[in-house]
Amino acid sequence: MPGRSGRRSGPGGGGFAGTTPTARNWALPWVSSRGIWIPFPGTWRSFDTRCHRLLAAALVPLGPAVEKWKERVPTHRIGVVVGTSASGNRDLERHLASGAEGPYDYHRRQSFGAVAVVAARLLGVRGPAFTVSTACSSGAQAFLSAAGLIRSGRCDAVVAASVDALCRTTCFGFRSLGVMDPDFCRPFDGDRRGLNLGEGAAAFLLAGHRPTAWEGPDFRLAGWGSCSEAHHMTAPDPEGEGAFRAMTEALSRAGLRPGDVGYVNAHGTATPANDGSESRGIVRALGARVPCSSTKGYTGHLLGAAAGVEAFVTMLALLDEVLPRNLGIEDQDPEVQARILREDEAAPGIRFALSNSFAFGGNDVSLVFEVRR
Amino acid sequence: MTVAWILAGAGRIDGDRPVGDRSPGCPEEFIPRNVRRRLSRLILQALQVTWEAADPGIDAPLVFGTANGEIETIATLLPAVLAPDPSVSPTLFHNSVHNAAPGYWAILARRFAASTTVTAGPATFEAALLEAVCRLEDGASQVQVTAGDEAIRAALWADPEHCTRDFCGSLRLASRPPEGGRCLGAIEFLRLGPPEDFPLPEGEEEVRVFDRNDLPGGARHPCGSLHPLLEFLLGPPGARRLRMRRTLASGTMLEAVFRRESGFDD
């Protein structure tokens, strides 16, 4: 583990400014210049899992923005929703494998609800805090729940985060399904053999309005769609019916026509079943000309964190007006009719982009983002 | 002011004991035998109560609340996962996700509406109810909220004392009063805020629930606060209103007041 000394160094070493009494009861996380090192001393130690460290690393850069909101509204008006599919499974497995005896703090280390508690206490906010867990669409569902809290008027701002730490259960579980590529994954390639797994976290601050004196661009969650496929627990509908429904609803909510979407960040796991199904759904919902790419060739499939990280990639594409290429593709599957980007592509003036996330249980979510420069 | 109407409800303790006396009973053929044998007790009971509170003609979004999810399935998987040469059952693996029950519900009931799974420790039902109400307020005409957990038996690392019995319940909520006015009750309001902002009104004749998760007999349960609500709605007539309160882990208080409709049996 880099930076194991735990010294408070590196570019992120400032911690949060103006912490509340709630947050002062907890240790502040730090990101070292050589990687993630977030000490959990004292009362934090019982929460110290890799999942919570990853989450804290994603929350650190968000701290100053949350502090600004805490100056504007009471802390109980700021909520937290975190998506995860595995929570503390990784540390539980290590605990059991070590043969360690003694009680295991299930509620703080393993319970899925703990990730939202950790996030709320790290940020020093007191609004509603809960976890959503819908496997690989968890991070997208966190956006939906956060938006719901704001639109209902019960929160002024909500942190929507997502996190997953890689564990043996996930690795060997996907292996048992025969969908792991031992080499780098190749989304939408005719010779794709499956996914690569990864771990990570992402966090966003959502608010009902753009604050005055806000500098620079911001993004709007312009629309979202969510549906159940009602087809199979792991296999997608071959015709992409669920993907089509989710994208169509997202467009409708955003008040957009298919041609308004300038980029699709596809779920694109590189499994034979997903990519063909998703391509059919994209072509039906948005046409065959919209530029698409899966960015799982760069990150692997981050499971519960995938939607959050890919939302971030989608926003970067909007901000930079450059669409990322679909890393790993050589010969596009002839069954895939969607326009898959083989190279980075300039997209001057792009305003709307859509990100797909699909999951076990047929839980499909599409998010539409708008950049406002 | 009413934020939601409660059109139907169902609950089961220990798998086969219905809460109240209005349960129609889920038909066996709804869950085919070859599917049933693969399901955890949590999935099975969640499917049963969701069916019992559902309207066959309405494809309502489902909010599923569960604190521990498929903890028993994970406990079954772990020895294989930790073995030197792991060999994992693919069925157990895809059944181990928190949203397994909503996934099976969609497949078996042919429901295409959205679903999500919410988890918040001992405030799991309250968080699921909050999510459901937010969805109603955001335009859904009906939302079904199902919450439950199975008794922890095999998971030796967990704290089994916080969940010693199987319990699942379901409510079907609507954003408008039903035609003809027949419903179980209503949610008069659901609000959040600092506990000090919510003094208890004096002199109200109503049942009050204070941060308790006990099932009958004193058994603790993460979704136990749903049980007195179901008894209030489905059991013999008693108090007219029920106030639910819980201080969430982040420090804010959730308070909801439920009203029982007296004319349901007329």
Contacts of A51 in chain B (CB under 8 A): none
Residue A359 contacts B where some CB pair is shorter than 8 Å: yes
Residue A169 contacts B where some CB pair is shorter than 8 Å: yes
pLDDT digit string (tens) for A228-251?
999 999 999 999 999 999 999 999
Contact at 8 Å (CB) between A306 and A281?
no
| Residue A1: predicted pLDDT | 28
For domain A21-186+197-207, the CATH class is: alpha beta
The neighbouring-strand residues paired with B170 are B10, B146
Kind and range of the H or E run holding B226:
helix B226-234
Residue B147 contacts A where some CB pair is shorter than 8 Å: no
| Residue A3: predicted pLDDT | 30
pLDDT digit string (tens) for A16-25?
222 232 333 3
| Residue A62: predicted pLDDT | 87
pLDDT at residue A340 is higher than 60: yes
Going by pLDDT thresholds of 50, 70 and 90, the confidence category of residue A39 is: low
CATH 3.40.47.10 given to domain A218-372 = yes
CA distance B182 to chain A (A): 27
Contact at 8 Å (CB) between A263 and A324?
no
Does the ipTM surpass 0.90?
yes
| Residue A33: predicted pLDDT | 38
Going by pLDDT thresholds of 50, 70 and 90, the confidence category of residue B205 is: low
pLDDT digit string (tens) for B172-201?
999 999 988 789 999 999 999 998 998 877
The percentage of residues in chain B with a pLDDT greater than 90, rounded to a whole number, is 75
| Residue B201: predicted pLDDT | 77
Q: In this structure, what token pair is assigned to residue A146?
A: 């956060």
CATH number where B131 lies: 3.40.47.10
> A360 and B81: CB-CB below 8 Å?
no
| Rounded Cα gap, residues A114 and A131, in angstroms | 8
- Residue A138 has phi, psi (to 5 degrees) of -55, -45
Task: Compare A237 and A215 and report the one with higher pLDDT.
Answer: A237
Nearest to A358 by CA among A291, A249, A275: A275
Contacts of A357 in chain B (CB under 8 A): none
* Secondary structure of residue A180 in the 3-state scheme: strand
pLDDT digit string (tens) for B123-143?
999 999 999 999 999 999 999
Q: Which domain holds residue B197?
A: 4-265
Domain with CATH 3.40.47.10 in chain A: 21-186+197-207, 218-372
Spell out the alpha helix ranges (H) of B15-174: 33-36, 41-53, 71-82, 90-94, 100-109, 124-137
